[in-house]
Structure formats: structure tokens, C-alpha cells
A = this chain, B = another copy of it.
């Protein structure tokens, strides 16, 4: 019997309240953050109260729908709503799911607006639909992923692509959870994932489900591969170009190069909403640079000498040549990726 994953958000229909579990405080404190007000929504995404591309997408959908309802009540113009949408889209530049979620809701709103039906209600219906779409997609891609997990596989993953990142199911961890419940007995090495340390969320989520997990530093991945301790690498993604180049948390590219060198399969697990339908190659994917303070501190405590500077690219792009396959709800896409991705997205 599968355990339910941790939920990153709660939408309270009666009061129109959007609550987010504060992922900055997990696993030590379970605090809910009220992201109902538009400013608080922007803050929650920028500051990573909510994180993980699919979860951000769903939260952006609800947040935009709530803001539309508020603006409609205020009698605001379309321009005001569109300016708000732009602010929302600007919170985090790399993850495309944010754009997907917000734009889908906006489209539903605009259509109802033009048809003079209840546009706020239409936006909220679309937000609900998106949430369900993400859950279904993650559930299905996790089942498809079973075929790449050998019995007893030792799997290395990076950052966190579990229930918290993906609305209660998981992408990379969805595959691992499905393998666990299918009796394949996977065991996991979870990268710490400096500077934001999301590996502890992965460890926390897997531990809850009694899936064996060992926390490691990013520096240990090559060592583990060389010792034959890794059978498979699986990560999530924040944006995938039409040629398969995949942006994900900084450090993913290192793993892909190392996996290729050691001839270890490297898979991305992501729903189709993670594909950027207009970007043809990874070179065009914008990389978010976050505050250098994240590198100079650990959980807020300064560890670097005064005056030292840092850089903090938050994502990198793994070229599709290094990717064995992309696990989606429509099956596992493989090279040539232009063709398999086009077929999955547009056919």
C-alpha cells in the first residue's frame, strides 16, 4: 500500500486561501505559509518557500487565478492583470512550468472574459485542472520509469524531485517510489545539493516511506560511480528544450558527464509541461543566478571569510547527448530527441 507523499500546497476552496508548506524550514519544522496575497505569492516563489518545477507551476496557476478574482472584484483593467502576470513570470526565470501554469490559467481567464462568462471562476477551474494534470502525469511517468530500474538498483539523484517538488507525487522520486512499491527494492544516494541543501528533503521524503537513502556530498559522485556503487542516475528537470537539452538544478550536468564517463545510464524524469515548446536548444534557456549569499552561508549562517565573493548559478543545462532517456507520462523519450519529443508534444 503506497503511502501518500507530502503535500507542498493546500488550496482552501471556501476561503480562497492558498497555503504552502514552508520548504525552507523542512524537515525540522512543518509551517504553513499563507500565499494568498499576491505579494506573498511572489515572495514564496522567489524565496523558495515553494520549489520544484511542477509544484511551482501549480502554485503559479492557483496564485494567478486568485489574483484574477481579486482584480476582477476591484474592477481592474486587463492591463493591470497582465502586469501582475508579468511579475509572476519574472519570479524565477528557468523553470518553464511556472510559465506553463500561469499562462494556461491566463488563457482560460481571457477566453471567459471575451465570452463574458465568469472569468475568475474559469481561471480557478483551470488551476484545479492543472493540479490534477500534474498529479496524473507524475503518476503515469513514474509507472513508465519502472522499466529502467533494475531489481535492487542503487540510484543517485540530485536536488529534490519528490512529492514536495511535484505536488504530492514526484518525478525522479516518483520513479523511485514506484519502483519501491513494485518490490524492486531500490536504494538511493541523495546529493546534498549545495547551496540550498534540497538533498535533505529527498532524504526526508524517502525515509518516510522506508526507502533506503544515504546522503552524500556532490564531491562524492565520481568516487561512488568509480567504485561501482551507482547503477543509475535519475533527476528531475526545470525546462527541456525541443532537442532534449535539459535544464535542472546546478550540478546535474556534472552528474551527466560523470555518468557518461562511467557508462552509467542517466535519465531525466519530467512531465510534458516541463518542455519548452518554443525553445529549440538548451543554449537559449535562461539560467537564473541567485544571491551570492546562498553560497557564502549555510542555512543562513555565514561560513565564508568577510569580503569574499561568490557566484550562484542556480541551474545548468545537460545536453541531450548525455541523456539516456526522458521519462514522461507518454513513455520514455529517447534519441533522436527532436523526433521523440515532437511526437510526444504535438501528435
Chain A residues within CB distance 8 Å of chain B: 27-28, 191-195, 197, 200, 203-204, 207, 213-223, 226, 249-251, 253-254, 257-258, 260-261, 295-296, 298-299, 301, 303-305, 307-311, 313, 316
Q: Quote the shortest CB–CB distance from A311 to chain B (angstroms).
A: 6
Residue pair A250, B310 in contact (C-beta under 8 Å): no
Q: A194-B218, A261-B261, A298-B303 are in contact. Are A226 and B250 (CB under 8 A)?
A: no
Q: Quote the shortest CB–CB distance from A318 to chain B (angstroms).
A: 9
Give which listed residue, B203, B304, B311, B313, contacts A200 with CB less than 8 A: B304
Q: A215-B296, A308-B207 are in contact. Are A253 and B223 (CB under 8 A)?
A: yes
Residue pair A218, B215 in contact (C-beta under 8 Å): no
Residue pair B295, A200 in contact (C-beta under 8 Å): no
Residue pair B261, A200 in contact (C-beta under 8 Å): no
Apart from A217-B295, A298-B299: 19 A-B pairs, beta carbons within 8 A: A191-B219, A192-B295, A194-B194, A194-B217, A194-B219, A200-B303, A200-B308, A207-B305, A214-B309, A215-B308, A216-B310, A216-B311, A218-B251, A218-B254, A219-B254, A220-B316, A222-B251, A223-B253, A298-B301
Residue pair B218, A295 in contact (C-beta under 8 Å): no
Residue pair B220, A251 in contact (C-beta under 8 Å): yes
Residue pair A219, B200 in contact (C-beta under 8 Å): no
Interface centre among A27, A194, A308, A316 (most CB of B within 10 A): A308
Chain B residues contacting A303 (CB-CB under 8 Å) are 197, 200, 298-299
Residue pair B215, A304 in contact (C-beta under 8 Å): yes
Residue pair B257, A223 in contact (C-beta under 8 Å): no
Chain B residues contacting A203 (CB-CB under 8 Å) are 304-305, 308
Chain B residues contacting A226 (CB-CB under 8 Å) are 253, 316
Chain B residues contacting A250 (CB-CB under 8 Å) are 217, 219-220, 223
Chain B residues contacting A200 (CB-CB under 8 Å) are 303-305, 308
- The answer for the CA separation of A254 and B259 in the assembled complex, in Å, is 11
Q: Quote the shortest CB–CB distance from A117 to chain B (angstroms).
A: 47
Q: Select from chain B the residue with minimum beta-carbon distance to A159.
A: B219
Q: Quote the shortest CB–CB distance from A215 to chain B (angstroms).
A: 4
Interface centre among A223, A296, A305 (most CB of B within 10 A): A305
Give which listed residue, B214, B251, B299, B308, contacts A217 with CB less than 8 A: B251
Chain B residues contacting A304 (CB-CB under 8 Å) are 200, 203, 215
Q: Quote the shortest CB–CB distance from A183 to chain B (angstroms).
A: 23
- The answer for the CA separation of A195 and B197 in the assembled complex, in Å, is 12
Give which listed residue, B27, B194, B207, B253, contacts A192 with CB less than 8 A: B194
Q: Quote the shortest CB–CB distance from A191 to chain B (angstroms).
A: 8
Q: Quote the shortest CB–CB distance from A163 to chain B (angstroms).
A: 15
Residue pair A219, B193 in contact (C-beta under 8 Å): yes
